[in-house]
Chain A
Amino acid sequence: MSRKVLGLLYTVAALVFGYNMFMWAWSNQGFAPEQPIPFSHKIHAGDNHIPCLYCHSSAENSRHATVPALNVCMNCHSVVAVNKPNIIKLTEAYNTGKPLQWERIHSMPDHAFFSHQWHIRKGFDCAVCHGPVETMDKVYQYRKLNMGDCVQCHRDNSGPLDCNACHQ
């Protein structure tokens, strides 16, 4: 190929590459998928002041915060707002034994290890990473949660900077 054509090709390739990397690196912030039941954190955590750990109880003892099991919802919703269509749907799922399939929002790649337990016990508020969840009708990813995000916070708060803290 002639030099000029090759040079053009390489430039185009570099631009395409750069744009894609940019988009890819920033694409998870703001991710807000539809959920099977439009659960509103604003009503529960906001208006009703339910603490995060009431439902997401494993966050302080496990690496996973998890979406609560249906029996946690039914703790209240066996009597609260039972006639609302979403609660009826919830109760049906509970009774028939067909679990709800929630869409995962905050996801780390398989090679990154994150433990909620460590961070909760350090005293960090859930809102530091998850943002003002109590204002969210529909949950969206508040922070980038890429490696740079995590490492910067570790640097600022004297967290471990060893690679194997997160890459186990």
Chain B
Amino acid sequence: MSQNNVMHKPANPAPASQPRHWTTLGELRGDAAALAVKNSEFYSKPEEFFAQEEQSSKFSVTGNPTALSEAAGFVELKVKQNGGEESGFSRRDFLKLSGAAMVFATAGCGLRPAQKIIPYINQPEEIMLGVPNFYASASGGAQGYGVLIKTREGRPIKLEGNPNHPLSKGTLDALGQYEIFNLYDPDRLTGPVKMVDGKPAVISWSAADTEIAELLKAARGRIAVLTGTIHGPARKKIIADFCASLGATHYMYDSWSREATRVANQESFGTPVLPALHFDKADYVLSLDSDFLGSGYSSHEWSVAFGSKRHLNDHKLNKLVSADCSTTLTASNADERFRMKPGMSVKFGLAVATALQGMGAMGYSFNSVSPSQVESEAGLKNGTIDRIASELWAARGKSIVVGGDSLDHQLVACLLNAMLGNDGVTVDGSGAPSQQGLGSLANLETLAGQLNGGLVDVLITFGTNPVYALPEKSGIKNALGKAKTMIHLGDRADETGRLATYLLPGLHWLESWGDAEPQVGLYSIIQPTVMPLHDCRAAEESLLKFAQAAAVPGLGEVQGGWYDYVKNVWQTSVYSADVFAAGFGSFWNGALRDGVVDLRKPAAPRTFNNAGLSRLSMPRTGGDLQLVVQSSPLLTDDGNGNNAWILELPHPVARVCWTNFANLAPKTASRLGVRDGDYIRVTANGETIEVPVHVQPGDVEDVVTIETGWGRKNVGRVGNGVGGNAFALCAVEGSMLRTMGAAVSIEKTGRWEELPDVQGHNYTEGRPIVAETPLEAFLKDPKAGHWHEHELMSMWPEHEYKGNKWGMQIDLTACIGCNACMAACSVENNLPVVGAGQIRLGREMHWIRIDRYYSGDEHEPEVTFQPMLCQHCDNASCETVCPVVATTHSEEGLNMQVYNRCVGTRYCANNCPYKVRRFNFHEYAFAAYEPHPLNLALNPEVTVREKGVMEKCTFCQQRIREGKEKAKSFGRPVADGDFKTACQQTCPTNAISFGNTNNPDSLVSKLNQDPRAYHVIAELNTKPQVTYFTKLRNRPMRETDSAGGHGGGHGEAEQHGGNHS
């Protein structure tokens, strides 16, 4: 077989109507080394293979192989053991030995080992073993979305969105799905600890309560409580009561603070609120350096709402315009994107406001900025700003301008929203504003002042990690250390917890009572779904117990525990006999069952005050390279730092996992002489961190972008030392953390490690995989962006489907690439994590993956996200090649993978044109779930695969079965909507639909009739059951777009030309 690296001309190149899609710069540039991977998918000799494995296991993202996280490193250690010494081993020898081994092994076979059945003493009525129970609750983090928790045998195993909840509407984002692993994190503290002479010693709860009660009584008036964002009537009240009874003060700080928004709203509209943004009412969204889809304060709610307008409805689609300095998730989804230097988007916004003034918008006075000047500074075409302004004006009252997390951006966003009349309609700062980010650095600085002045004797902390999230220079760590006694109620001795004397671990919200109020008037009860796994106690319960032990008047006199307290607060503050017809008991049960009580007041427009605009400071450019620090969409909340599944979830745009990186534009990277994987020292504001480089197509030149949340020191065995801490590079200015525009310098370390990138292991080689077209072209011709799918004859007899036939449909316009589907699938199907080393070898185990394609050039590409999963082909190419018939076709159209029959030849993966089959090269599942109690997260309905077995998407066959069981119990055939696949259920934008294509009335059947529907690589005659909808871009046509419309483009007609070799 020829091994030369000449890229063969693909038989069916993408038709002329398609731009060229590429996934990596290596592919775009025709880099031979990058493309060589195409010829080495399957090694010809095991020795080369083992050698590569050995090499790979030496890599580590932290540069310190021995300190590599155990969960991920587990596999790598096993790789060393298995792969290291067998270089002279041939297949024949192996078969000979194993044949003999098998014989002698069976000689010892007898009865299966005995198992015990241990039933309940008193089985609770609502539990039936084998049948899940669902409970409604809400997340205890700042976002507070409503969730439905699936429990089996008394423990939660899966989270879904609560269909009743107006923010999540039955969907859940990737972080929400992976919360389950935070509950079962093996590195949580398992009991109360007291530091004695610098060493941890066990202490009992009662002893801790007694000691602390004494301390608190002696320290009245000199106590501080420092938390993250707290909302929810009971949670807020207990802290307020605690503070009132003991003369304490409450401070809140979030790692990624939203105070810029609150200050801007205070200046502009009079109250320091976080407005609730209603993207489902907006036809037009202008984002000024805001990653609202990825890391906004209510990003899940916003993805859902934005997504609802992302389905072509009556020829209309919403439009997202982004003026930004880095290729974030939001920028990747923008229909039109204007790249500009950090902070320039503020000027852009003002220029739009200037243009709007001429169109009849409210005349607020501000320093006008000339649109043409901004256009020339930012390199935009003439007239762009006027055009955007007029589009915005046409959508006034039905648009949203959303700004990044800096005061300047927020002030301009407030101005624009006021001018467009959005305030009170799509932007709600008055009726039911958000409470999803209440922490502030100014607040923390006040606390620091108190601490430095020796005025705080007892400091109680939980839910926040300022020691990690602030640079050394902020002096916060020093200040916190000055408290005479610090009591940490978080779940582990993290960077902040380390300073404490008492570590009294709190509970995860899945095992605790509480409440949430993400928007004013939108209440949810947080209810536990399992007894506390460890000897831990809810932080709120601890506060109550301290007060009770100290017998202080007020909170100390309250009887009962935290549960009683929550119930009482709900009775007095939420329930009212005027509003609810039922008595409180029924109301409480109803609230528990429904998961939400919606008492939000309607929005009303606020009066805009332009005084705030005087605080605008125009962007400063600092030196040749500027630093932009962004919040990671995965690690916004520092509770996720030890979650291996989250660390392995690829970054939505970069598709790199297991590390953060310094994003550089291609021109900048080549100017600086660095490439992907080069480790550099990044210095800004007098601090240095070390991170690898990632060349990000579409980033702005001379900007270094790094995400926060990484570089943890004390979070657990998985997260410690992974990546670099970008918070350290920020400076505190005007009581806010400045994250944009600082001068930065970089220095090569000389070290290089391949980035764990999930793209770049397979290439499309020019085949038509992604179809996209501008909306304009589509509206003229519904076949735009398409190619004709021929009717092809088949060698094989067709399968007959007499009953159900399952099919899926994915709308590429609605898909925003958030990775929620990947997360839901991995929790539902017991997918393992494999670690950075295996990812580098292309062995990621995600059954559904999001392929991120660029189109256009590397400096200003457009992005398309395509979820790719097993297509369950009618003419599956995998089924015909399995030597042991471990993969066959079911009567309902599924391609089945039988794990116990599979012997691991991997011929099926070889033959799969979509490359969706995943092989267990090692005991991944064992390594991933072995650290107890992670094994409790496993779904008992899905087999856990062992080493040597192939696996892939099964269309959630266990859910199909459950749907059929449900239908059968009602004595009817399965109806559309009886069940949903995990990916479909969680997708915030409803991009995935699933159902019975034999039923002409099902949603999927109807969607398949749409002119946008197409199949991937249909010409191979695999007859896939997943249909995709062409991605529509809501932007004006460009010269680089094809003449559009012929739809029937065959590209170069090689497929009709017979063979060529």
Interface residues of A (CB under 8 A from B): 13, 16-17, 20-21, 23-24, 27-28, 31, 33, 58, 61-64, 66-72, 93-94, 97, 99-104, 107, 109-111, 113, 115, 117-118, 121, 160-164, 167-168
Chain A residues near B888 (CB, 8 Å)? Answer: 162-163
Chain A residues near B957 (CB, 8 Å)? Answer: 164, 168
Q: Is the CB of B111 within 8 A of A99?
A: no
Chain B residues near A113 (CB, 8 Å)? Answer: 941, 943
Task: Give the CA-CA distance A62 to B954 in the complex, in Å.
Answer: 22
**Of B123-131, B242-250, B686-694, B1004-1012, the one with at least 4 CB within 8 A of chain A:** B123-131
B855 to chain A, nearest CB (A): 38
Q: Is the CB of B122 within 8 A of A69?
A: yes
Q: Is the CB of A121 within 8 A of B969?
A: yes
**C-beta contact mask, B106-150 vs A, less than 8 Å → 1, else 0?**
110111101111111111000011110000000000000000000
Task: Give the CA-CA distance A113 to B943 in the complex, in Å.
Answer: 9
Chain B residues near A21 (CB, 8 Å)? Answer: 106
Q: Is the CB of B114 within 8 A of A27?
A: no
Q: Is the interface of A mostly helix, strand, loop or mixed?
A: loop
Chain B residues near A62 (CB, 8 Å)? Answer: 128-131
Interface centre among B119, B941, B943 (most CB of A within 10 A): B119
Chain A residues near B119 (CB, 8 Å)? Answer: 66-70, 99-100, 102
Q: Does B600 reach chain A (CB closer than 8 Å)?
A: no
Chain A residues near B123 (CB, 8 Å)? Answer: 69, 71-72
Task: Give the CA-CA distance A115 to B962 in the complex, in Å.
Answer: 11
Q: Is the CB of B115 within 8 A of A64?
A: no
Q: Does B896 reach chain A (CB closer than 8 Å)?
A: yes
Q: Which residue of A lies closest to B119 (CB)?
A: A69
A139 to chain B, nearest CB (A): 12
Q: Which residue of A lies closest to B105 (CB)?
A: A20
Q: Is the CB of A102 within 8 A of B130?
A: no
Chain A residues near B107 (CB, 8 Å)? Answer: 16, 20
Q: Does B891 reach chain A (CB closer than 8 Å)?
A: yes
Interface residues of B (CB under 8 A from A): 100, 102-104, 106-107, 109-112, 114-123, 128-131, 888, 890-892, 894, 896, 898-901, 941-944, 954, 957-958, 961, 965, 968-969
Q: A66-B130, A94-B121, A167-B943 are in contact. List 20 more A-B contacts (CB 8 A).
A: A16-B107, A17-B106, A62-B129, A64-B129, A67-B117, A69-B121, A71-B120, A71-B123, A72-B123, A99-B118, A102-B117, A111-B899, A162-B890, A162-B894, A163-B888, A163-B890, A167-B896, A167-B900, A167-B901, A168-B961
A-B contact pairs, 8 of them (CB 8 A): A16-B107, A20-B106, A24-B110, A66-B119, A161-B891, A163-B898, A163-B901, A164-B894
Task: Give the CA-CA distance A20 to B110 in the complex, in Å.
Answer: 9
Task: Give the CA-CA distance A97 to B575 in the complex, in Å.
Answer: 39
The contact of B112 among A23, A69, A107, A167, by CB within 8 Å, is A107
Q: Is the CB of A70 within 8 A of B120?
A: yes
Q: Is the CB of B106 within 8 A of A111?
A: no
Q: Is the CB of A20 within 8 A of B129?
A: no
Task: Give the CA-CA distance A162 to B942 in the complex, in Å.
Answer: 16
Q: Which residue of B lies closest to A96 (CB)?
A: B121
Chain B residues near A93 (CB, 8 Å)? Answer: 121
Q: Is the CB of A28 within 8 A of B128?
A: no
Chain A residues near B968 (CB, 8 Å)? Answer: 118, 121
Q: Which residue of B lies closest to A59 (CB)?
A: B130
If the complex has contacts A27-B110, A69-B123, are A107 and B890 also in contact, measured as CB distance less than 8 A? no
Chain A residues near B896 (CB, 8 Å)? Answer: 162-164, 167
If the complex has contacts A20-B107, A24-B106, A167-B943, are A117 and B965 also in contact, measured as CB distance less than 8 A? yes
Q: Which residue of A lies closest to B109 (CB)?
A: A24
Chain A residues near B104 (CB, 8 Å)? Answer: 16
Q: Is the CB of A17 within 8 A of B102?
A: yes
Q: Which residue of B lies closest to A72 (CB)?
A: B123
B756 to chain A, nearest CB (A): 31
If the complex has contacts A24-B109, A66-B117, A68-B119, are A118 and B954 also in contact, measured as CB distance less than 8 A? no
Chain A residues near B958 (CB, 8 Å)? Answer: 168
Chain B residues near A66 (CB, 8 Å)? Answer: 117, 119, 129-130
Chain B residues near A102 (CB, 8 Å)? Answer: 116-119
Q: Is the CB of A162 within 8 A of B965?
A: no
B151 to chain A, nearest CB (A): 14
Chain A residues near B122 (CB, 8 Å)? Answer: 69-71
Q: Which residue of B lies closest to A164 (CB)?
A: B896
If the complex has contacts A20-B107, A163-B888, are A103 and B112 also in contact, measured as CB distance less than 8 A? no
Q: Which residue of A lies closest to B960 (CB)?
A: A164
Chain A residues near B944 (CB, 8 Å)? Answer: 110
Q: Is the CB of B943 within 8 A of A168?
A: yes
Q: Which residue of A lies closest to B896 (CB)?
A: A164
Task: Give the CA-CA distance A63 to B131 in the complex, in Å.
Answer: 8
Task: Give the CA-CA distance A13 to B107 in the complex, in Å.
Answer: 10
- The 9 lowest CB-CB distance pairs between A and B, nearest first, are A62-B130, A69-B123, A20-B106, A69-B120, A162-B890, A104-B115, A64-B130, A111-B900, A164-B896
If the complex has contacts A61-B128, A67-B119, A111-B900, are A160 and B891 also in contact, measured as CB distance less than 8 A? yes
Chain B residues near A33 (CB, 8 Å)? Answer: 114
Q: Is the CB of A71 within 8 A of B121?
A: yes
Chain A residues near B898 (CB, 8 Å)? Answer: 163-164, 167
Task: Give the CA-CA distance A113 to B899 in the complex, in Å.
Answer: 12
Q: Which residue of A lies closest to B890 (CB)?
A: A162
Interface centre among B121, B131, B892, B896 (most CB of A within 10 A): B121
Q: Is the CB of A110 within 8 A of B943?
A: yes
Q: Which residue of A lies closest to B122 (CB)?
A: A71
Chain A residues near B943 (CB, 8 Å)? Answer: 110-111, 113, 167-168
Task: Give the CA-CA distance A97 to B1040 in the complex, in Å.
Answer: 75
If the complex has contacts A16-B103, A17-B102, A162-B892, are A168 and B942 also in contact, measured as CB distance less than 8 A? yes
Q: Is the CB of B941 within 8 A of A168?
A: yes
B878 to chain A, nearest CB (A): 14
